[in-house]
Chain A
Amino acid sequence: MERNSQLHRQVALMRQSLFDQGYLDEQFVQLEELQDDANPNFVEEVVTLYYRDSARLIASIEQALDKSPLDFNKLDSYMHQFKGSSSSIGGRKVKAECAQFREYCRAGNGEG
């Protein structure tokens, strides 16, 4: 039981650190509030789906970045999806990076 409470404390500290470092925002707390007895693993399920979806998007983005010339419209569309998902789960830093990426797309800035 001692080990269990230790693990709980470690998880709580890691969770808080993600908020403190700006990786997560209040939207993540919203997800935690949606977890209930009928859906006890909701947060885990959403985050798992997010990772799977993001991995697929990132693979598409990498493929698109390999093409020449760059198709900025396609890249912008992928980033719109990625930003949307990240924002929905409270992924603050990822969302900000996506926004920056989209600015570069709009400016046709391949170097960025």
Chain B
Amino acid sequence: VTALVVDDNKVSQMIHHQLLNVLGIVNHVVGNGKEAVEIHSSGKKFDLVLMDRDMPVMNGIEATKKLRDMGVKSTIAGVSSHSLSEERQEFIEAGLDDYHEKPLTIAKLVSVVSKIKYKA
């Protein structure tokens, strides 16, 4: 299983990277939505994308929409610290397969991984 971590917060990047390592998932880390789109444009594929919502340059909602428009079928799990249902709904409607509130834990990540349907 391969994964892409998309988050602008360095502490979150380090934690999500290690969470995936511990589960034996090879993963790559990028700092915003634009970088996530670019890495897919370069031809790279991932089984799972952990997408943060609030990021500079391009946020998680826009990036998710763009990836789906590009035909990316990977499991995209939105990760956010927003708890309002409208904000959550907007993110989910952008094309998420799963959604979790930060901070991510081992249990939450195991639940996300169990939902991976499409193998890149």
Does A71 sit within 8 A of B, measured CB to CB? no
Is A45 at the interface (CB under 8 A from chain B)? yes
Per-residue interface assignment for chain A, residues 40 to 55, with 1 indicating a CB less than 8 Å from any chain B CB and 0 otherwise: 0010011001100100
B15, B54, B102: the one contacting A31 at CB < 8 Å is B15
CA gap between A30 and B1 in the complex, in Å: 22
Interchain CB contact (< 8 A) of B15 among A34, A36, A83 = A34
Task: Identify which of A27, A38, A45, A83 contacts B14 (C-beta below 8 A).
Answer: A45
Assembly CA distance A89 to B11 (angstroms): 8
Assembly CA distance A81 to B12 (angstroms): 10
CA distance A87 to B10 in the complex (A): 13
Q: State which residues 64-95 of A face B: CB under 8 Å.
A: 80-81, 83-85, 87-90
Chain A binding surface, main DSSP class: helix
**B81 x A83 contact (CB < 8 A):** yes
Contact call B106/A34, Cβ cutoff below 8 A: yes
Count the A-B residue pairs with Cβ separation under 8 angstroms: how many? Answer: 53
Residue numbers in A under 8 Å from B105 (CB-CB): 27, 30
Contacts of B10 in A (CB 8 A): 49, 53
How many angstroms from the CA of A66 to the CA of B93 in the assembled complex?
A: 40
A30-B105, A53-B9, A88-B11 known; 4 new pairs, CB 8 Å cut-off, are A80-B81, A83-B81, A84-B12, A85-B11
5 contacts across the A-B interface (CB closer than 8 A):
A46-B15, A50-B11, A84-B81, A88-B103, A89-B15
A-to-B contact residues, CB < 8 Å: 27, 30-31, 33-34, 36, 38-39, 42, 45-46, 49-50, 53, 80-81, 83-85, 87-90
Nearest 9 pairs between A and B by C-beta? A85-B11, A88-B103, A34-B18, A30-B105, A50-B11, A27-B103, A88-B11, A87-B103, A84-B9
